[in-house]
Amino acid sequence: MLNFFQLIIIYAGIYALMAIGQNCITGNTGMLSLCHAGFFCIGSYATGIICKTLGLSFWLSLPVAAICSAVVGFLIGVPTLRLKGDYLCIATLGLGEIIRNIATNMNPVGLMSIPRAELFGYQFSSRNKVTFILLVWFFVLVAYILFRQLSHSRIGRAMTAVREDEVAAQSNGINVAKYKIGAFTLGAAIGGTAGCFATAYTLTVQPSSYTFMVSVMVLCMVVLGGMGNLLGVIVGAFIIEFIQYFPQLVGLSSVIPAQATQIIYGLCLVVLMIWRPQGILGRDKYRYGDPRSAKERLVSFFRRGEKKGGKA
Amino acid sequence: MNTLIQYLQYFLNGVTLGAIYALIALGYTMVYGILKFINFAHGDILMIGAYTGLFTYTALLGESTNAAWMLTSFFIAMLVSMAFCAILGMFIEKIAYKPLRNANRLAPLLSAIGVSFILSNGAAWMFGTQSRRFPYPFDDTPIVIAGLSITPHQILTIVVSIIMMIVLTSFVNRTRMGKAMRATSLDQPTSELMGIDVNKVISMTFAIGSALAAVGGILASFDFRVYASMGTMTGLKAFVAAVIGGIGNIQGAMLGGIILGILESVGAPLLGIPSALRDTIAFATLIIILLVKPDGILGKNEREKV
């Protein structure tokens, strides 16, 4: 059980990284994108190729994966800028599928037995989960701090302005195209790094695992947690990974079939959306400088939950 | 000459595939036209339709090998499956989408994804993960005309699709309910003020879309077999077809479906790439069309007003 709990923490960390990237695109800038599986795939392949084929260090693959994904994100961002809302969602969905389709076609088996990541002679093996948790969550923390600072900076506010009203943002002198492409590139880069850790943990790269469902799952984490709220996004990643591994965690994986987990997952999505469409930690309307203290906000958060609980 | 016939053959196969996409795309486009949201569960309704059709057909047929009864029970099975999916579609709308009609745009999308998970995994749980063959209700020997071979199930697919499209077009254009649907998709608050029962219209839209998906599912199962996740890729492609044609536009969905089917079938041999890359062709077409004409081929160009 402890074993599975550690597994959940590792996967929650990997997906939290992806969700932070998705949040930058969808939560902060308001672009509905569904190709994070594609970025994840590129990052995984970058690590796989660098560590296995070229025999170089895992640490080198991190920036390379980030740069590769960022370049793809940039290339996707530029032409699809003209598209809005659901059209953007469909175009990016198509691009994600194209990336997977091409990867499958080049080599349907993928890469196997990739060498482990190493730090000062210490090997990060999947058997020793605690060190892996530290490794992944260290990077989640770094990404959290970076993106938190970003969203409170001038750039972050410009991105929010683009999300809230593109025309108004443009008339206030914000270069909408620049921020949209920038958000796409940044989000893609983080998605790519998440792919590195997934490869370093499983030591395999299988093109069949980067389906459209992965993108959907990452989007769910962002929306469930509360769009634009970084902490919420990480909570969302935890919840979804927890649901995925729940039967193994309580040792009932032989009793509960795999499909039941997915059904519970689907039910959770529907119920949570009906109960709190803005996400668990989401706000009704985005506003700056909440004058209330953290305690007051916490109290009002739980009060609101009580009041709205029966309204669904 | 031989290559010409070969390409005509690909073209013919493409039209059959396209007719199926078009039927499914109609459901997406009608729902989008009225509610402005992507019903991701539509693909799974298609799968439920295929299973319902398959079970009803085998139950009705029993041990009988009478050719006339085979065909009759096939059509009865199709009607049963249409009715079942129509009810299922309305039920899903009531439970999962109606409470979210005024929420932000992402909420119903995620709710639809949740429903899709429930349906596809529920089916995998109940019916197992192995795929089943839908038995042909007739002798499926290809008919060869001037070097072109066409199978009876392809003819059936095309004929049934054309009938369905004619029925739908005349329903939307000729009846009172159809008029109410068109009004609701143009302007929901105004049509409500004019006395149209918008809830009823939305229920009806889901019922019709799901019934068409059931037909599409049964026809698709001749080529693709019946399995729990059959709706995911077929549904996605049909949605692509709806977007190519101009989402929200009924003629556009039909046109988009046929175009996508033909491109998928002819594209790979024409470009000399492996046929496993046909999905890439479908999605690349989508992106190119969206970039050239962001509202699809027959879509109306809506300018954003300040």
Residue segments in chain B with a per-residue pLDDT below the cut of 50: 306
**What's the CA gap between B256 and B32, in Å, rounded?**
15
Range picked from A79-88, A185-194, B4-13, B121-130 for highest mean pLDDT: A185-194
**What's the CA gap between B241 and B89, in Å, rounded?**
21
Q: What is the CATH number of domain B2-292?
A: 1.10.3470
A273 and B118 within 8 Å at the Cβ level: the answer is no
What's the residue count for chain A?
A: 312
In A104-121, which positions are buried (b, 16+ CB within 10 angstroms) versus exposed (e)? Answer: beeeeebbeebeebeeee
- The predicted structure's pLDDT at residue A287: 45
- Nearest-by-Cβ selection for A260 from B107, B114, B125: B125
**What's the CA gap between A64 and A50, in Å, rounded?**
9
- The predicted structure's pLDDT at residue A291: 53
- The predicted structure's pLDDT at residue A230: 86
What is the identity of the amino acid at B69? W
Place of tokens 């929200």: B248
Looking at the complex, report in whole angstroms how far the Cα of residue A282 sits from the nearest Cα belonging to chain B: 12
Establish if B82 touches chain A: CB-CB under 8 angstroms.
Answer: no
List phi, psi (to 5°) of A118: -135, 140
Instruction: Say if residue A293's pLDDT is above 70.
Output: no
- The rounded Cα B67 to chain-centroid distance in angstroms is 28
Partners of residue B117 in chain A, C-beta under 8 Å: 262-263, 265-266, 269
A101 and B105 within 8 Å at the Cβ level: the answer is no
- The predicted structure's pLDDT at residue B143: 84
Residue ranges making up the domain that contains A97: 2-309
Query: Would you state the structure tokens that stand for residue B152, as one six-digit string?
Result: 């009876």
Q: What angle do CA B206, B94, A216 make, to 5 degrees?
A: 75
- The rounded Cα B76 to chain-centroid distance in angstroms is 20
Instruction: Say if residue A91's pLDDT is above 70.
Output: yes
Instruction: Say if residue A202's pLDDT is above 90.
Output: no
- A286 burial (CB, 10 Å; 0-12 / 13-18 / 19+) is middle
In the three-class reduction of DSSP (H, G, I as helix; E, B as strand; rest coil), residue B305 is classed as coil
Query: Would you state the structure tokens that stand for residue B7, as one six-digit string?
Result: 């390409």
- The rounded Cα B124 to chain-centroid distance in angstroms is 21
Establish if A125 touches chain B: CB-CB under 8 angstroms.
Answer: no
Whether residue B71 contacts residue B247, with contact meaning beta carbons closer than 8 Å, is answered with no
Whether residue B45 contacts residue B87, with contact meaning beta carbons closer than 8 Å, is answered with no
Which residues 220-259 of B have a C-beta within 8 angstroms of A? Answer: 232, 236, 239-240, 243, 247
Q: For the segment A42-67, what is each residue's pLDDT rounded down to a tens digit?
A: 999 988 888 888 877 888 888 999 99
A277 and B124 within 8 Å at the Cβ level: the answer is no
Place of tokens 């899709």: B116
Which residues 37-76 of B have a C-beta within 8 angstroms of A? Answer: 37-38
Query: Would you state the structure tokens that stand for residue B286, as one six-digit string?
Result: 């989508």
What's the residue count for chain B?
A: 306
Place of tokens 């994840």: A40
What's the pTM?
0.83
- The predicted structure's pLDDT at residue A306: 52
- The predicted structure's pLDDT at residue B204: 93
Q: If pLDDT is split at 50, 70 and 90, which confidence band does A308 have? A: very low
Whether residue A287 contacts residue A229, with contact meaning beta carbons closer than 8 Å, is answered with no
- The predicted structure's pLDDT at residue A290: 53
Residue in B with minimal Cα distance to A91: B287
**What's the CA gap between A251 and B202, in Å, rounded?**
44
Query: Could you tell me the maximum CA-CA distance found in chain B, to the nearest angstrom?
Result: 67
- The predicted structure's pLDDT at residue B209: 93
- The predicted structure's pLDDT at residue B134: 86
Partners of residue A259 in chain B, C-beta under 8 Å: 121-122, 124-125
Establish if B272 touches chain A: CB-CB under 8 angstroms.
Answer: no
Establish if A78 touches chain B: CB-CB under 8 angstroms.
Answer: no
Q: Where are the domains of chain B?
A: 2-292
* Model ipTM value: 0.77
Establish if A305 touches chain B: CB-CB under 8 angstroms.
Answer: no
CATH assignment of the domain containing A286: 1.10.3470
Domain total of chain A: 1
B277 and A267 within 8 Å at the Cβ level: the answer is no
